[in-house]
Amino acid sequence: MSGDAPPGRRDDAQELQDLRQFFYQCPVGLFEIDDDGLVYKVNPAAVAMLAPAIGSGDLAKLFPILDQLAPQMISVISQDRARMGPLAAGERILIPAEAHGVSSLEIRAVRVAAGRVMVVLLDVSAERRLAAEGDRLFAAEKAAHAEAAAARDRAEAVS
Amino acid sequence: MTNSAASVCLIFDDPGLLENLETIPLDRIDEIGFGLIVMNRSGEVTGYNASESKRSGLAVERVLGRNFFVDVGPCTNNYLVAQRFLDCDELDEQLDYVFTFRMAPTPVRLRMLARAGSPRQYLAVRSR
């Protein structure tokens, strides 16, 4: 680190590197696109989540992917281009995640500036699994109560 | 590969690529014309060649010793890539994929390679 380097210059470079690393490691999928779906930035989590839908595509544009998964998001993004902030409530989709399984993803879109939209992908598979497990336990408990009541009725009828 | 002075000339699509990679010393991988990540069987990076470092913008010293699928190339941390290495002791498969070099979508062709019983596994990367 030579003393000839302009003051602050190295800090800017380091800050950029740190910022890039921050988005690289972010477990939430992030895209920066324009109003026509052209992809400017994408982080690794977004690719990891959408890879089954991307296939041999190049991901230059997001709309062909959304067209497969959540077509209504395209009109949400491309219509009313003056609207800023969150563009719609999160939409949930299913996508292959392993040989015989699926992931549940939530997609959100936020217009952060004119012509710049951030698309956010959240993996909500764990939440979905917990809800399914809760439903299963509730159904099992209900069935057990019904069985116990039937047994009581049969015992009372005998006596 | 026995002559250390001979230049390393490996072809991405060569059916014998895995055999050649198994014999190449890590200090010669910068001579390979496509991107190459060498890992141990836990996914820890033991070699990262100049071609891959240049495209990713990640310095070799930042990458060595880190888990590739978690820390270096998290875009591959799914059933299509990382899980293939976990599931297969022997592996030689190609896949069109998208990397996120410098946060830009970059279409690549991957070749996932591992030989049964070897302490190494490889991810070869070329543009498409």
Q: Do B100 and A57 touch (CB under 8 A)?
A: no
pLDDT for res A128: 64
- Domain residue limits, chain A: 25-123, 125-159
Facing B78 at nearest CB: one of A51, A58, A60: A51
How many Cβ atoms are within 10 Å of A142's Cβ, its own excluded? 10
What CATH number is given for A25-123 in this structure? 3.30.450.20
Confidence of residue B1 (pLDDT cuts 50, 70, 90): very low
How many Cβ atoms are within 10 Å of B49's Cβ, its own excluded? 22
Write down the mean pLDDT value for chain B. Answer: 92
Q: Give me the mean pLDDT over the B71-80 stretch.
A: 92
Asked if residue A90 lies in contact with residue A106, where contact means CB atoms within 8 angstroms, the answer is: yes
C-alpha to C-alpha distance for B60 and B66, rounded to whole angstroms? 11
Q: Count, in order, helices (H) and strands (E) of chain B.
A: 4, 5
Is B54 near chain A, with CB under 8 Å? Answer: no
* Least trusted range by pLDDT, from A137-141, B8-12, B69-73: A137-141
Which ipTM was obtained for this model? 0.83
Domain covering B37-127: architecture: 2-Layer Sandwich (3.30)
Confidence of residue B116 (pLDDT cuts 50, 70, 90): very high
Higher pLDDT among residues A100 and B116, named by residue = B116
pLDDT for res A6: 59
pLDDT for res A100: 66
Asked if residue B45 lies in contact with residue A16, where contact means CB atoms within 8 angstroms, the answer is: no
pLDDT for res B68: 97
pLDDT for res B65: 97
pLDDT for res A2: 44
C-alpha to C-alpha distance for B42 and A32, rounded to whole angstroms? 33
Confidence of residue A10 (pLDDT cuts 50, 70, 90): low
Å between A22 CA and nearest CA of chain B: 11
Q: What is the value of pTM for the model shown? A: 0.79
Of the candidates A113, A51, A81, which has an alpha carbon nearest to the alpha carbon of residue B69? A51
Q: Give me the mean pLDDT over the B72-88 stretch.
A: 94
Is B67 near chain A, with CB under 8 Å? Answer: no
Residue B44 in tokens: 């820890």
Give the residue carrying structure tokens 């991810």.
Answer: B123
Q: Do A44 and B74 touch (CB under 8 A)?
A: yes
Query: Which residues does chain B have within 8 Å of residue A43's beta carbon, measured at their own beta carbons?
Result: 100, 103
Indicate if the pLDDT at residue A8 is higher than 70: no
Confidence of residue A12 (pLDDT cuts 50, 70, 90): confident
pLDDT digits (tens, 9 = 90+) for A126-145: 666 667 777 777 777 888 88
Is B125 near chain A, with CB under 8 Å? Answer: no
The dihedral of CA A60, A63, A66, A68: what is its sign?
negative
Of the candidates B3, B58, B15, B16, which has an alpha carbon nearest to the alpha carbon of residue B35? B58
Facing B98 at nearest CB: one of A25, A54, A98: A54
Q: Letter for the amino acid at A154?
A: R
Å between A152 CA and nearest CA of chain B: 51
Determine which of A16, A19, A24, A61 to mutate to test the interface with B (most B C-beta atoms within 10 Å): A24
Å between B36 CA and nearest CA of chain A: 19
Asked if residue B97 lies in contact with residue B108, where contact means CB atoms within 8 angstroms, the answer is: yes
Query: Which residues does chain B have within 8 Å of residue A49's beta carbon, measured at their own beta carbons?
Result: 78
Q: Give me the mean pLDDT over the B29-36 stretch.
A: 95
Q: Do B103 and A55 touch (CB under 8 A)?
A: no
Confidence of residue A109 (pLDDT cuts 50, 70, 90): very high
Indicate if the pLDDT at residue A74 is higher than 90: yes
